[in-house]
Amino acid sequence: MRKLYAIPLGLAATGAATFGYASVVERNWFHLRRFDVPVLPPGRPPVKILHISDAHLTPGRKRLIRWVRSLEELEPDLVVNTGDTLSHRDAIGPFLDALGPLLDRPGVFVYGSNDLYSPVFKNPARYLWRTSKSDYKKRRREPDLPYRELGSSLQAAGWLDLNNRIGRLKVGELDIEFGGIDDSHINRDRYDKIAGPVDPQADVHLGVMHSPEPRNMDRFAADGYDLLLAGHTHGGQVCVPFFGALATNCGIDRPRVKGLHKHRGSWLHVSAGLGTSPTAPVRFCCPPEASLLTLVPRQ
């Protein structure tokens, strides 16, 4: 009789321990990833970009807020936020607190679907057979999160809104041209509004989007953007040891679900993000992250 219960009890205990690790330990085990990206004209000094994404912030995520605030120590020259910042209508104040002095630095942002729509419970395993794109078509009509207020707050600090817009910033001595699009996951991307070759007078050209959708990445690359920045995938969020992500939740391939890669003639950096939706509060073999991308001269 004892043996009869031993196996299910053992499995239940292992499952509970794994869930505890994924939800309490790894979900708060923040990592900083560093990459050098050779996109600058020869002879230019390095420029540091802090890439943050997918905070999915709720006011109670104090450890996430403290960790983001500590990133000011990196003294980045530019901050790029690729969306899914909110998961609660009262999260704007805590997010601005998290940025703290980073807000005084040059910055740019785009929205993700979760900045517009509050989280609803879904079966987390559904990502294995389809993306969450259809959830928005079926259930959602009007945005119910204060994404416009988020945008206004960031713009008030001098950050550029790149949702279907071109932008330009002088960062140190570097003239940076930006092209950005709103979230393709909810069909708000309008690449036609920014389409066209990059300005050769600018020193470097950055393409910014939430979801790394290949049809948009192709257009950024064809227009001459040097580096594309995206989030959305959460790096797979729940990964299998020695295998990696099971799904990407968009059109990008699994090997490029996070990290620095090439896309045609451009570099591509996909952030695995800082947070998780409150309805799926676990990470496994895919810790939350921010990235410090150091732009260096081309070889």
Considering only residues 36 to 75 of the shown chain, the ones binding Fe ion according to CB under 5 A are 54
User: Least CB distance from residue 20 to Fe ion, whole Å?
Assistant: 23
Q: Which amino acid, residue 179?
A: G
Q: Which stretch binds Fe ion (CB under 5 A): 84-92, 119-127, 174-182, 288-296?
A: 84-92
Please say whether the dihedral angle defined by the alpha carbons of residues 59, 62, 67 and 69, taken in this order, is positive or negative.
positive
User: Least CB distance from residue 293 to Fe ion, whole Å?
Assistant: 19
Q: Rank residues 198 and 257 by Cβ distance to Fe ion and give the closer one.
A: 257
Instruction: For residues 205 and 284, give the distance between their C-alpha atoms in angstroms, rounded to a whole number.
Output: 34
- Decide if residue 84 touches Fe ion (CB under 5 A): yes
Q: Which long-range contacts (CB under 8 A, 24 or more apart) does 39-42 make?
A: 39/204, 39/226, 39/227, 39/267, 39/295, 39/296, 39/298, 40/174, 40/203, 40/204, 40/295, 40/296, 40/297, 40/298, 41/203, 41/204, 41/297, 41/298, 42/297, 42/298
Considering only residues 196 to 235 of the shown chain, the ones binding Fe ion according to CB under 5 A are none
Q: Rank residues 14 and 279 by Cβ distance to Fe ion and give the closer one.
A: 279
Considering only residues 93 to 152 of the shown chain, the ones binding Fe ion according to CB under 5 A are none
User: Least CB distance from residue 285 to Fe ion, whole Å?
Assistant: 18
Q: Rank residues 54 and 177 by Cβ distance to Fe ion and give the closer one.
A: 54
Q: Rank residues 77 and 84 by Cβ distance to Fe ion and give the closer one.
A: 84
User: Least CB distance from residue 161 to Fe ion, whole Å?
Assistant: 19
Q: Rank residues 132 and 164 by Cβ distance to Fe ion and give the closer one.
A: 132
Q: Residue 290, by phi and psi: left (phi above 0), alpha (psi -120 to 50) or beta?
A: beta
User: Least CB distance from residue 72 to Fe ion, whole Å?
Assistant: 23
Residues binding Fe ion (CB under 5 A): 54, 84
